[in-house]
Amino acid sequence: MHHTTPELDSEHPFSGKIRASDREHLLVEIITLVWDSTLELPISLRDADPEEHPVEGPVIVGSIQVTGAWPCTLALAASAELAAVCAEKFYGRPAAEIPPEDVMDAWGELVNQIGGNLKALVAPPTHLSLPHVVSGSTFTYRVPKTRSINELTFACVGGRLRLTVLRPEHA
């Protein structure tokens, strides 16, 4: 990704940003790029509504860690229904033919692509973990000793998904 905005550090534009709104712009670019290039699905940022739960019913959460000079965890949550639609586009097969483990694999690959794009925007040295994916109706996703620095809700084909960037508490 090439950025022409003058205030962005051209080498490490994400890790150089202190304000959440500056990072938000880059996150929207990353997720839009991944959704356009991999799924060919429209996706748009939505205003956060504290009364609205962005993800209802059975949920899928994929996460990946960036370690090194600028550590963070990315978590991408969506309804199982939206994840199945994404898997349908990912594999080019009807959702009914895609087993749940393949939906989870596709979701993990989407998170991996988002993480890889983010990794390219942070100061080295950096490493990307393998993605982790969980799904179900009754679980709590938590990364201990971290704080949320960005939380974005997106709309895609009638569903909602949420991207959260977590940083170590003392970073």
Model confidence over 100-127: pLDDT tens digits? 999 999 999 999 999 999 999 888 899 9
Summarize pLDDT for 60-98 with one digit per residue, the tens: 999 999 999 899 999 999 999 999 999 999 999 998 999
* Superfamily designation of domain 20-47+63-70+79-168: CheC-like (3.40.1550.10)
Q: Residues 72, 28: contact at Cβ < 8 Å? A: no
Q: What is the mean pLDDT of residues 9-23?
A: 70
Assign 6 a pLDDT band (cuts: 50, 70, 90): very low
Strand partners, 161: 78, 154
Summarize pLDDT for 29-45 with one digit per residue, the tens: 999 999 999 999 999 99
Closest to 127 in 3D by CA, of 74, 167, 69, 61: 69
Task: Read off the pTM.
Answer: 0.87
Q: Enumerate the domain spans of the chain.
A: 20-47+63-70+79-168
The answer to whether residue 2 scores a pLDDT higher than 50 is: no
Q: Report how far residue 36's alpha carbon sits from residue 46's, in angstroms, rounded to the nearest whole number.
A: 17
Closest to 116 in 3D by CA, of 105, 104, 106, 126: 126
User: What's the burial of 57, exposed, middle or buried (CB within 10 Å: 0-12/13-18/19+)?
Assistant: exposed
Would you tell me how many other CB atoms lie within 10 Å of the CB of residue 122? Answer: 20
